[in-house]
Structure 1
């Protein structure tokens, strides 16, 4: 440190803070937001912290300074975090006659309030889904709309609200023999499920939408809002997410079938709620995806908050994130087969 010049000393101080924050974030999946809300907020920044520490490694490498060891060490300790942020391997793509496809998509009310300036958006969504032909489609922030035409599906939807009826929906090409909703108190968010029959197998499909902070990072209000208020709102949201997750897990524990969990968790793969919901399941992106796998349109760094999780009784044979801007989320689709 004494051999560093003034600017380099400042850089190393910042580097040390970023390295410590990343190291601290490794504990977040094991800390209940109800007890450690002030820390749980950090889970949203993990992609940023990883990228910043990688940049510091490059900076000190170009300077040929041994200070690069700090970030290398912290990144090495959390190597699974680094490789879950970006998959360097090529996408797995196994054609199999037994494959069936599962798409998850937060459709943002099909642009009901014209957030996106595109008069053809509803037609584009219909065309996109019809072209990809998912066998199972889970949608969050769904609302019935006559302009959205999806043929050949059985459907289960659960809606709430007075002025704009909205909620979650499961569309499936396989017959539904049972369905229901897991109500979350004091919110329009919930989780729904449908038991479907494929050949002789019964499979449970869950569609989970956890609490959102209601913050739009692209809005002017977001840039002007006091940081303390933002912190409180996100902390409160994460506490609600934990309560919702506990309700969901109680229901999930009673499921007698192989399951697939889709949803918008409004939190990252570095969070407590993701770890709890995932449990022993497999993340389809980790199994077969590549790249950042971002699912939310956040301009500052890649964010993955939408997931397809599958039971160990399934092989994940492909996974793709589609870069279509018909919502503030990007659709994802996995192809899986029962072993």
Structure 2
């Protein structure tokens, strides 16, 4: 520190703070939000903390200063715990006659309330789905008026909630559905649904989960200090609710005898407690076959991956893709898997 100039000392101090916060965030997946609500909020900021530490590392590398070791050390620990934030490898694509393609998409009510100033959003979503033609389609924030336009699917199960039962979750399938149901979450319009499909001689369970929404306004630059504190506390409370919902889901899943695929909008990142709890020993299809940041939510400040598809370890992950289509505040994701 003695050999550093004043500006460099300030930079290293900032570097130290950011590195410590990132290091602290690594324990978030291990801590129950019910007990550590404030710390659990850190999980949302892990992507930006990683990016900041990468920038500090590059800064000290250019300066040829040993201070680069601080961020390098913290980033290395994070890599072994979570893997890389950005996947540099190309998307994996394996052609297999036994492939099942599964798409997950939060369609935000097909733009029912005109959040996007475009009259063709509904038609664009349906055309996109028809073009990509997933064998199984899991939709969150589904609105039933579109059900007839998705009639190219042979089978479907939907669970509508909310006032007058106008919206909810749905799963469409080209494989026969032999069983279906809903896992109700208390005091909310969010829930989880499931179907059992038959492919050849195999019965496979498909889950579609929508955990409690964060309700973050993307225009965060307009927040006052008081509003920021309210937002922080609100996110902590939301994570507590998500933990309860995850527990209800896991209790249900533990009674299933079938190999499962879990789709959903978790409203939380891969650095969260609920992600770790729901994923358990399952495979994250993005980590197995995706590339890039894999962002699934249109949040302009940093890439957020809050939508996931997990598979039972028995599945081979043969492909994964995140689609950069802006018909919702979420981006659709699709994987191809085989037993």
Give TM-score scaled by structure 1 length: 0.96
Give the whole-Å Cα distance in 1 for the aligned partners of 2:17 and 2:183: 41
Quote the residue 1:140 is aligned against: 140
Q: Deviations over 1:93-118 (max 9, x none)?
A: 00111111000000001001100011
Quote the residue 2:258 is aligned against: 257
Moved over 3 A (4+): 80-84, 218-225
Quote the residue 2:129 is aligned against: 129
Q: Structure 1 residues 110, 81: closer, same or farther in 2, change over 3 A?
A: farther
- Offset of 1:220 from its aligned partner? 7.5
SS at match of 2:237: helix
Q: How does 1:88-107 map to 2 (within 5 A)?
A: 88-107=88-107
Q: Structure 1 residues 179, 254: closer, same or farther in 2, change over 3 A?
A: same
1:230 aligns with 2:228: no
Give the whole-Å Cα distance in 2 for the aligned partners of 1:270 and 1:164: 33
Q: Which runs of 5+ in 2 are unaligned?
A: none
Give the whole-Å Cα distance in 1 for the aligned partners of 2:317 and 2:181: 26
Quote the residue 1:193 is aligned against: 194
Contact 1:126 1:148 in 2 (8 A): no
Quote the residue 1:314 is aligned against: 315
Q: Which runs of 5+ in 1 are unaligned?
A: none
What is the RMSD of the two structures over their aligned residues, measured on CA atoms?
1.5
Contact 1:295 1:332 in 2 (8 A): yes
Contact 2:153 2:172 in 1 (8 A): no
Give the whole-Å Cα distance in 2 for the aligned partners of 1:278 and 1:82: 13
Quote the residue 2:79 is aligned against: 79
Give the whole-Å Cα distance in 2 for the aligned partners of 1:323 and 1:224: 34
- Offset of 1:80 from its aligned partner? 3.5
Contact 2:33 2:40 in 1 (8 A): yes
Contact 2:105 2:333 in 1 (8 A): yes
Give the whole-Å Cα distance in 2 for the aligned partners of 1:119 and 1:156: 27
Contact 1:101 1:335 in 2 (8 A): yes
1:23 aligns with 2:23: yes
Q: How does 1:200-219 map to 2 (within 5 A)?
A: 200-218=201-219
SS at match of 2:50: helix
Q: Structure 1 residues 333, 280: closer, same or farther in 2, change over 3 A?
A: same
Quote the residue 1:13 is aligned against: 13
SS at match of 1:157: strand
- Offset of 1:183 from its aligned partner? 0.4
